[in-house]
Structure 1
Amino acid sequence: MSASYAQVLRIPYARRTFVAALIGRLSYGIVPLSVMLAVTRASGSYAVAGVVMALFSGTSVFLSPARATLIDRHGPRRALVPMAGAYIALLGLLTVVVWRPGAPSPLVLGAVTAAAGACTPPLGPTMRAVWGTLAQDRALVQRAYSLDGVAEELLFVSGPLLVGVVVGFAPPALGIVVGAVLMAAGTAGFVSSPAVRDVPPGDGKAKSRGKGRRRVLRGIRRPVIAAAGVGLALGVADLLVVAFAEGRGHGDDSVAWVLAALSAGSAVGGLANGAVAWRVPAGVRLPLLAAGLGLALLGAGLAPGLGALAALMAVAGLFVAPAITTAYLIADEAAAPETRVRAGAWVNTAVNAGGTAGAAVAGLLVGPLSTGWCFAVTGAVTLLAAAAAARGATHDGGAPEERGDGGAVPAARRQSSAPSRSS
């Protein structure tokens, strides 16, 4: 396994490009929590902080395909630099507004954070597109995507930990500054890489754009459905773990261990997925992976205690990173070269939107239902998403089928920048 991943990093310019992208993407794990803490401290209102974060997350997630379209149309260098510049400037303005406790106007806070979210640079989706040009061998692409997914999982775990260190000695607004600096450094290193400079812009004609949009939406039905199901499961699971622990008299530290087990399982599953030379095509694997997640959540509903729940969540995690990675692989296979970033951004949006919807649904379910039944309902919905993704295989007109030599696809997974597992 180590040799396989080492081979990915030995591709010319791969390490330089990947490390730069990871530096910038670490901002995604730092900025959201820093903004929430800083806004809460400055406004003195959890309600204001909640609205502000909803605006930031909403514009970041749901405008991800639009930002990806700019990357496809104009190329990474021409689109990412002004996008990152606007994002960093808006984060700087937000830092000034919330640096000291006071009563900043909620309208000002909402406008600045919404604008910052709208400008979030899609380094994740662009990096996955670059992987498709760097790793021409299909086995290497699969390993590159898996490595990318596991690294991303670690970023979203380590980002909040770094915020915790910062707020131990400084105002939380300093975390926003740290995130802005990371984005500036990461973007600069990324766009200066020869691998990124060689990515050509797409066709900018209006007619071609319309055809490209229809082609993307037509070809990615399966991965979008499956990704939304996985995102919803993750959004529900986070809140259900909290409710499960509190219902049995455990503290917040116990919740952290259970969620860490989920992340650890996801990391192990992602590494294993990239190391295996699959004989089953990606289009067949995707619904099976989503179904595995659903069955694990059904089992979590039967957990008698926190230890059993942690073990079952680790099992559930084994399917998370492989399912998301496979969804990106299929989307990239279906996309024309000039719509690669966009196709991956749609999958990323599905994951994040599913997570947001899952958190909202969990809040409604936890009251009237026991956590066991909530896990069972979540598992059943995930199984329905897996079934829908399997049925969608016969309706994705125009999407090329995977060749039978391993199931990976010759292109690049994409992702957005929202405060979620897929950035």
Structure 2
Amino acid sequence: MASTVTSEPSTNSPASSRPGYGQLLRTRGAWTFLLPGFAARQPFAMLTLSIVLLVQHTTGSYGAAGAAAAVTGVSMALFAPYSGRLADRYGQRTVLIPGVLVHTLSGVGLTVLALAHAPLWALFAAAVPTGASVPQVGPMVRARWGAKLKGSPLMTTAAAFESVTDELTFVVGPLLATALCTAVHPAGGLLTEATLTLVGGLLFAAQRGTQPPVAPAGHARVEHAPALRVPGVRVLIVTFLGIGSVFGGMQVSLAAFTESIGEPGLNGVLYGVFAAGNMLSGVVCGAVAWKVAPQRRLLVGYAALALAASGLWAAHSVLLLAGLGLLVGMCIAPALITGYTLVEGLVPAGARTEAFTWLTGAVALGQAAAVTVAGQLEDRVGGGAGFLVPMAGTVLALVTLVALRSRLVAPARERTVARGVGHREPVAVD
């Protein structure tokens, strides 16, 4: 299985247990899926904000804009795990190509309806396929790393690298979406998102040689048992819902704040600062040879995230929001990286793409709920009330994580070195 402690005797598995980005990026064939994968996942960071800015422009309501974005996020969260399961069973290319085409057409349709001032129900109808067909490129890239590294100590570095890549897209994406929607045309962000999805997704799908192998038909029942049956995955889903509440709450609340001070262009800058903090801490997190068990790291990091997010609602200046946003971003990356790393020990190799999509979908679902609630709060209360959403989401998720932390320990069957009932045995994935 991919979670054994012995790694391949190749350049893909360094002799040293200390992780390193240089060693990771020298993995044979890595660049063939990293570059197109980066292009294909860039639109994900643009989608929600582009919808919010377009619909707010055409309706004048942050509540309506948040609701339309939320329908997209909920659709993605519901359909993403099934997309991941199909990718595990039939191959990534088979699932990706039709998904890319449907998403592009749906995004263009949503844009046309919004510009035509269609009723809100029509926007919701177009938002469903737009969200349901979002290509799950990030989980697919993570699954390719898992197939390449096969239990190497570099798996933690790979998880960190992917988090950094995700956050780089969340630095560039909001800035690009804001610039296009405010300086070019309100529909510019969503149309660009659809175009990048089409081009990047097809290029990524063309990389057949690096996609994880599909299990033989005789092993399908074992290898493709639903990832949701793993108790630890369910705990991580709640944890990632809280992270999604930070993304969604900040997107709407920052947009409302910058609009209220007459500087809408600062929205992308402030959100970019938040994402930059996430990216920088992700770089550091992946470069450290951790001695602390990942379960404990997740608890400590998530407590710091909840504490930092709880201060956002009290900030009423650009500089203070930028500073707090940077701090919140720095707390998110360790939680994301550790959560994805834990999947390596909790889930069989044949179900990992599905597990990753459950986590990605949880972020999207938390984001969807957050943009809806934050939009309503900004419309009805104002004064930064939307920032209460990240606080509530992270605190509730932290309580769940503390109560169910024992479920994050990998079962003995996943490791040949873990025998008996010693659930405190460290998981040797980092």
**Residue deviations 1:249-295 (CA, integer Å, cap 9, x gap):** 68546665543432222111111110000011111111111001122
2:37 maps to 21
1:127, distance to aligned residue in structure 2 (A): 0.9
- Residue 361 of structure 2 is aligned to residue 349 of structure 1: yes
- Residue 285 of structure 2 is aligned to residue 273 of structure 1: yes
**1:227-376 residue pairs with structure 2 within 5 A?**
227-238=240-251, 251-252=263-264, 257-298=269-310, 306-362=318-374
1:139 maps to 153
1:10 maps to 26
CA distance 1:408–1:116, change in 2 (3 Å): farther
Could you tell me how far apart the structure 2 residues matched to 1:203 and 1:70 are?
A: 13
1:132, distance to aligned residue in structure 2 (A): 0.9
**Residue deviations 1:360-407 (CA, integer Å, cap 9, x gap):** 4446767779869976x9557634533431332324586458989996
CA distance 1:274–1:407, change in 2 (3 Å): farther
1:415 maps to none
Q: Secondary structure at the match of 1:220?
A: helix
Q: Is the 8 A contact 2:88 2:224 kept in 1?
A: no
- Residue 101 of structure 2 is aligned to residue 80 of structure 1: no
Letter in 2 for 1:332: E
Query: Any stretches of 5+ residues in structure 2 without a counterpart?
Result: 1-18, 419-423
1:414 maps to none
**1:71-150 residue pairs with structure 2 within 5 A?**
71-94=87-110, 97-98=112-113, 102=116, 104=118, 109-136=123-150, 138-150=152-164
Letter in 2 for 1:222: V
Could you tell me how far apart the structure 1 residues matched to 2:333 and 2:81 are?
A: 21
Choose from 195, 206, 212 the match for 2:226.
212
Q: Is the 8 A contact 2:104 2:198 kept in 1?
A: yes
CA distance 1:204–1:55, change in 2 (3 Å): farther
1:126, distance to aligned residue in structure 2 (A): 0.8
CA distance 1:90–1:359, change in 2 (3 Å): closer
Letter in 2 for 1:227: F
Q: Secondary structure at the match of 2:406?
A: coil
TM-score by length of 2: 0.77
Letter in 1 for 2:166: E
1:416 maps to none
Q: Is the 8 A contact 1:74 1:204 kept in 2?
A: no
Letter in 2 for 1:60: M
Letter in 1 for 2:324: L
CA distance 1:235–1:241, change in 2 (3 Å): same
1:420 maps to none
2:210 maps to 196
Choose from 69, 78, 93 the match for 1:62.
78
CA RMSD, Structure 1 to Structure 2 (Å): 4.0
Could you tell me how far apart the structure 1 residues matched to 2:187 and 2:106 are?
A: 13
CA distance 1:28–1:362, change in 2 (3 Å): closer
CA distance 1:158–1:406, change in 2 (3 Å): farther
Residue identity over aligned pairs, in percent, reads 27
Letter in 1 for 2:429: V
Q: Is the 8 A contact 1:301 1:371 kept in 2?
A: yes
CA distance 1:57–1:369, change in 2 (3 Å): closer
- Residue 408 of structure 2 is aligned to residue 391 of structure 1: no
Could you tell me how far apart the structure 1 residues matched to 2:39 and 2:294 are?
A: 30
1:413 maps to none
**Residue deviations 1:336-358 (CA, integer Å, cap 9, x gap):** 11110111111122222223333
Letter in 2 for 1:318: M
- Of stretches 104-113 and 258-267 in structure 1, the one that deviates more from structure 2 is 104-113
